[in-house]
Structures are given as structure tokens and as C-alpha cells.
Amino acid sequence: MIIMPKFSSSTLNWLSDTPTSPLFEDIYFSIDDGLAETNHVFLDSNQLPERFATASTFTIAETGFGTGLNFLATWKLFREQAPASAKLHFISVEKYPIALDDLIKALALWPELSMFSEQLIVQYPCHSPGFHQLSFDDGRIMLTLMLGDAIDCYRQLEARVDAWFLDGFAPSKNPEMWCAELFQQIGRLSHTDTTFATFTCAGIVKRGLRDVGFPVKKVAGFGRKREMLVGTYSPEVETRSAPAEGPSWFQLPYKHTGDKTAIVIGAGIAGCSTAHSLAKRGWKVTLVDKNSKIAAEGSGNHQGALYAKLPIEPIPTSRIHLSGFLYSSHFLTQNLADRNDIWSPCGLLQLAAHDKEKTKHQKLAESGNYPRSVVRYVEQTEASKIAGTAVSNSGLFFPEAGWVTPPLLCEWLCEHPNITVITSTQIKRLVRDDHQWHCYTQHGQALTAAVTIIASAADSVAFEQTNHLPVQNIRGQVSITAKNADLPALDTVLCSEGYISPTQQGRYCFGATFELKDPATDIRESGHQHNLTKITNMAPNLGEALAQYHVHNPLSGRVGFRCASPDKLPIVGPAPVFSTFIEDYARLRHDAKTVIDTAPQHYPGLFVNLAHGSKGLISCPISGELIATMLENEPLPLEKELIDKLNPARFIIKNLIRRAI
């Protein structure tokens, strides 16, 4: 688990034009020439000009992001040397991220990097612990910035690293980072051709790298630094391997072998997000839906709220939701800033429903666990000013939140030329042979691809391979006014026990009911009254105006069904073979602490992306990216601990352990 102190930006001191850390009393880069130092110590000493020239994909990992200078110099070199089709993954970690103003000041020293630094500054993430994945050059350059302790973050990383930049403050200044466990993680993530370079020649570094499989040699250092260290990983060297992390069933069971074809079953937000993530990586995707149009079921509402409900103290579930929220907000802003019919970053107020919740909101804001750029507490007067209408209580304001039009988002996601959409077609049966999946339609025809992803919500249990998954439908009715209705304005999304967004085309959409074990699709007056009451409780004037409108202009509505799992988390990842898991893990029935060494059994090339409940706008995009990175063997966008929480096999394991206890 990534554990961090109360989180804040690192305030820098400046020695002339060189930023220094008051915490470590060390400089961020050479006083003489920071860019020349980066080129010598990290780029040239890892032979990157030559290696980039023949690369198809290349992954670099770094132990201290600092000002981002190493990343920007690497990006520039990759553009100059690598083939146009090549892709760079840059992974870095930072426990004490610097403030945006200091980042801007530091990077202004290098005008030759301005075209790159300006893009980094725009996307520089909020200082929230965890993984932040940023995309540049239309996805050709990917930056995974991990905010937290280096050892904790690298323990949670799944990646295959080609070169290491062992940067950060000197071992004498920051001994906690340069320790055996960090070197063990470096060894775990390396392969035969992995290189490293570091400015330091400290004995602890030499010994640590040798212990995990890197023969170490000294070469000329930069400037006044006489020597530095380089090396190439050699698995023949006797090593002290990193201890196993987490359950063995996490291991990725399938990597594609060149046939980049996929069938995605279900064209809601989950399916469309997955198709888009694959298509932008060059996959040929066939997206199939049983309805006559995409986004016809749970993803078909006119508007949905984008935000994460957070606890005072972060837990794995909330960390998943926050990571998804930040990813979706960033993705939408980066790609759809000019599409105000799809995405409106108008902010969101989560209003307290009662005094106990108000106290929780205050404690959350005072906890220091979340940056103010993500969420801050506002009193009732300020909340009313933000909303543009009187609200009934104080609340939490999420400035980067807003509303989305799910059907239009799905349409945009599917516009990629690598995606073929087939509607009015229901997949009834899945058969695997000759390294292909054959998906048989209701007419007995077979669609064939190397990979299949099931994103059909509760319909997933119709397939033999996934009929064990514990999913359920939850009925929800929203209420909708006519277009251009004469109603009071609203400036931000409001939510509490209900939700309402600012109008789209002059039309309010609000709700929603929450009804278990109710399969009916009829629009009910009781549902409208329920929704009106919830809005009136939040914003009395607006609620009363909507109620009066309904007297003279009956509300329309829509019923959708949220697909949810027992633990309220999505089900995302490779599909396990149920019978084989039961057989291989049967010992857990008798002893929950049993260590299972058997390799997990999954259907090769079969994945699921399901059970997003009412949180699909924040969980579907990052889940689609997770599946795509698994298939491409790229660095995964979430911490391993969180990926384990999403794994479809978790219910099998939990049930076996529960029987043992």
C-alpha cells in the first residue's frame, strides 16, 4: 500500500538559478549546466541515442521526478532519434512534488525544451498520492508519475523496464531511499538488457545494485563529479530477489502474440472505453451490441455526474475511485475541451444531507489527505454562490468535476478508424480454438478475433465462461424536463441523496431512484416525486420550481439498470477458469493462510470489464486503459494493490477463504 504523510507541495529554495530542497539540503540539478548533466549521466550513459533508433517501445524508470528535466530531455531525444511509430513509457516517482509555480520557474531555464515543458505544465497533476498517467504526442509519449515513497510505489508497479535513471538526492542526504528494498524492486522490474545509470558512486549503491543482478562499473562523471556508475542487468549473477507481493492469482495470464484483433461485447461506456484504448494502440476492434444503437442501456442517460465520493481516511476502494476520477477528468479535459455538449467541467457540490455528514465533510477537509485542487469544504453561503441558487447546507466542492453526456461520449470514443461498430447483434456463445475466439451471434454466425472483452454488464452471466460472476441489476429512474424550459439556472452539479446537473440545451436531468430486484422499465410518477423531493432537499427554490413545472408540464424520464458487484467495485481483468481455480485453490478451504504456488488458470485472451454501478464515468475509462496496457505489456496505470481489488478471481478466492474461517 502507498503510505504517505499529510500531503503538500515541496517549497523550494533558490541558489541563484538553481532550485534546492530545504528538506534534503541538496540541489535538483547541476549548478554548472543541468541539461548537459542529464544528457551525460542518464541519456548517453544508458546508450539511449542508439537504443531509441531501433526501438518499437521503450520503458524508462526514474527514482526522483523533481523538476521533470530528465523526462523532458528524454522526450526530446526520443522525438529526434526514435522511429515515428515507436512509443516511450517514462515512469517516475516523487515523494515531495514541487509546486506548479516552482516547476514553471525551474523549467524556464531551458528555452530549448519549451515546447515540451509547456505541455508538462498544462498536464502537471494535482498532488494526490498514487499513480498519475499523462499522455503526450497523441499517446506516443506516456508519463506515469507516481506520487509517494519510492519503495512503496515501485512495490506496487507492474512494468518491464529497459533503462533506469537512478536520480534523486544523494545517498548521504536521503539514505532512506537508497536502501536494499528499493534495489530489490529495481531487480524485479528489470530484464536481460536493462541498463542503469546514476551520478553517485556511493558504496551502498554499488553493493545494492550488485546484489540484485547488475554488474557495476565506474565511468567518467559530469563536470566536477569525477566518476559515476553504470551497468547492465545480468540474470546469471547471484541475486537477492524481491519478495513476492500479493496473491499469486494476480499474474497476467495472457500477452498477445502479434494478432491485434479484438471483439468487445457491449457498447456502453465500459465497452466503448475499452475499444478506444485498444484502437489507439493499433488494435482492430469490433464493438458489438444487442441494441439498435450504442449506449442504449445503463449508459444512455442524458447527463451523468463525474466525481468521487471520498472518506476521511483513504482506503483501497476510495483510492480506486479517486484515481478513476482524476484520470477521467484529465482525459475529458485533454480531449474534449471544445465539446461542451459532451463534457462540462463546471464543478460539483456534494452537499451534506444532515449535521453528522457536515461534520464528516469538515473532518475530511481538515485531514490533509486530499489537495484543495481536488476537494475543499465550503460553508452554505459560499456553496449557494457557487451553485447560483440557494442550497440547504454546506458541502464539499470538487472544482475539477462536472457533467458528461454518456451517449455522446460513447459516440466520440467509437469514432476511431480502428473501431467497427455492429448493432442489433447479440453474442450468444463463446468458443476458443486455434488461438482465436469465435463469438457466435443469435443467427449462428461467428465473429472471430484473438481477444474478446465482455463489457455487457449483467448479461455477462449468459456466457459459460463468466456465469459464476456475482453481478446484479439495480433499477434507476431519472426525471427530465423539456428543452428550453423556463426554470431557474444552476451553475454547478449538485448531489447529496439525489443529483442534478446544469441544463444541457435548456433541459434538466435529475434523479435517481435506487431499486433492487425490480426489472420493470415503466416510467413511474412515484419515481418523479422521489427525485423532486431529493432536489428540493438540496436546493429548495430550484426544487419548488421543478415541482411547479411538473404540474403544468409533465416530466419525461428514463429507466436504466446499474450493474453492480457485491463489494461495489468493478470487475476488471482476465477471466478466470472457475472450475480450475476451485481445484487449484481448494486448500484455502481448510487454511486461509495457505500459500498457493500454482499458476493461476485463465481463459487465454478473455477479459471482462463489468459492474461499474453508478460510477461508470470515473471507473470505465481507466478500466479500459488497464485492459489495454495488460494486453500491450505496458506499465499498468494503477497500483498493483488496487488492480488486485478489481480482479475477477477475487470472489472465488474470497469464498474459499470465508469457508476456511
Confidence of residue 168 (pLDDT cuts 50, 70, 90): low
User: Residue 397's pLDDT is what?
Assistant: 98
User: Residue 239's pLDDT is what?
Assistant: 58
The class (CATH top level) of 13-245 is alpha beta
What interhelical angle do 114-123 and 100-107 show, nearest 10? 180
Q: Which amino acid is located at 261 in the chain?
A: T
User: Residue 225's pLDDT is what?
Assistant: 79
Is the pLDDT score of 241 beyond 70?
no
Is the pLDDT score of 9 beyond 80?
no
Q: What is the pLDDT averaged over residues 36-59?
A: 96
CATH superfamily, domain 348-399+472-564, is D-Amino Acid Oxidase, subunit A, domain 2 (3.30.9.10)
Q: Which residues contact 434 (CB under 8 A, 6 or more apart)?
A: none
Is the pLDDT score of 558 beyond 60?
yes
User: Residue 647's pLDDT is what?
Assistant: 94
Q: What is the pLDDT averaged over residues 222-231?
A: 87
CA 192 → CA 78, 133, 189, 231, 515, distances in Å?
22, 26, 11, 11, 55
DSSP symbols for 369-430: SS-TTT-EEE-HHHHHHHHTS--SS-EEEETT-EEE-HHHHHHHHTTSTTEEEE-S--EEEE
Q: How do the domains of the chain map onto residue ranges?
A: 13-245, 249-297+408-471+567-583+597-647, 348-399+472-564
Q: What is the pLDDT averaged over residues 177-205?
A: 93
Measure the CA angle with vertex 480, ends 476 and 481; round to 5°.
Answer: 165
The C-alpha atoms of residue 199 and residue 3 are separated, in whole angstroms, by: 28
User: Residue 486's pLDDT is what?
Assistant: 87
Query: Strands (DSSP E) along 204-257, which ranges?
Result: 216-220, 227-232
User: Residue 261's pLDDT is what?
Assistant: 97
Residue 5: DSSP 8-state:
P
The strands making up 284-288's β-sheet, listed across from edge to edge, are 419-422, 284-288, 261-265, 451-454, 602-610, 571-576
Q: What is the pLDDT averaged over residues 525-543?
A: 97
Q: What is the pLDDT averaged over residues 360-370?
A: 96
Q: Which amino acid is located at 591 in the chain?
A: D
Give the residues across from 454 on adjacent strands.
265, 608
Is the pLDDT score of 10 beyond 80?
no
Q: Are 74 and 90 in contact (CB under 8 A)?
A: yes
Confidence of residue 653 (pLDDT cuts 50, 70, 90): confident
Is the pLDDT score of 609 beyond 50?
yes
Is the pLDDT score of 638 beyond 70?
yes
**Nearest partner of 167 among 205, 129, 203, 115, judged by Cα:** 205
The C-alpha atoms of residue 642 and residue 314 are separated, in whole angstroms, by: 12
Q: What is the pLDDT averaged over residues 624-636?
A: 95
Q: What is the pLDDT averaged over residues 179-184?
A: 93
Q: What is the pLDDT averaged over residues 497-509?
A: 94
The C-alpha atoms of residue 3 and residue 635 are separated, in whole angstroms, by: 21
Q: Which amino acid is located at 103 in the chain?
A: L
Is the pLDDT score of 245 beyond 60?
no
Q: Which amino acid is located at 350 in the chain?
A: Q
Q: Are 77 and 43 in contact (CB under 8 A)?
A: yes
The C-alpha atoms of residue 86 and residue 55 are separated, in whole angstroms, by: 6
CATH superfamily, domain 249-297+408-471+567-583+597-647, is FAD/NAD(P)-binding domain (3.50.50.60)
User: Residue 368's pLDDT is what?
Assistant: 92
The C-alpha atoms of residue 173 and residue 171 are separated, in whole angstroms, by: 5
Q: Nearest 5°: phi and psi at 254?
A: -150, 135
Q: What is the pLDDT averaged over residues 583-597?
A: 59
Confidence of residue 19 (pLDDT cuts 50, 70, 90): low
The C-alpha atoms of residue 593 and residue 531 are separated, in whole angstroms, by: 48
Coil vs helix vs strand at 283: coil
Confidence of residue 255 (pLDDT cuts 50, 70, 90): low
User: Residue 601's pLDDT is what?
Assistant: 83
Percent of residues, the chain, with pLDDT higher than 70: 87
Is the pLDDT score of 505 beyond 80?
yes
Confidence of residue 593 (pLDDT cuts 50, 70, 90): low
Q: Are 654 and 247 in contact (CB under 8 A)?
A: no
Tens digit of pLDDT for each residue in 277-315?
999 999 999 999 999 999 999 999 999 999 999 999 999
Confidence of residue 542 (pLDDT cuts 50, 70, 90): very high
What number of residues does the chain have?
A: 661
Q: What is the mean pLDDT of the chain?
A: 90
Q: Are 10 and 96 in contact (CB under 8 A)?
A: yes
User: Residue 247's pLDDT is what?
Assistant: 44
Rg, the chain, Cα only: 26
Is the pLDDT score of 549 beyond 60?
yes
Q: Which amino acid is located at 437 in the chain?
A: W
Percent of residues, the chain, with pLDDT higher than 90: 79
Tens digit of pLDDT for each residue in 120-147?
999 999 999 999 999 999 999 999 999 9
Q: What is the pLDDT averaged over residues 37-59?
A: 97
User: Residue 657's pLDDT is what?
Assistant: 56
Q: How many CB atoms lie within 10 A of CB 566?
A: 11
Tens digit of pLDDT for each residue in 72-83?
999 999 999 999
Q: Are 647 and 250 in contact (CB under 8 A)?
A: yes
Is the pLDDT score of 45 beyond 50?
yes
The C-alpha atoms of residue 389 and residue 120 are separated, in whole angstroms, by: 37
User: Residue 410's pLDDT is what?
Assistant: 98
Q: Are 288 and 427 in contact (CB under 8 A)?
A: yes
Is the pLDDT score of 86 beyond 80?
yes
In terms of C-beta distances under 8 Å and separation of at least 24 residues, what long-range contacts does 33-37 make, across chains too? Answer: 33/223, 34/69, 34/109, 34/110, 35/69, 35/73, 35/110, 35/112, 35/113, 36/222, 36/223, 37/199, 37/222, 37/223
Confidence of residue 656 (pLDDT cuts 50, 70, 90): low
Is the pLDDT score of 175 beyond 60?
yes
User: Residue 522's pLDDT is what?
Assistant: 96
Q: What is the pLDDT averaged over residues 559-583?
A: 93
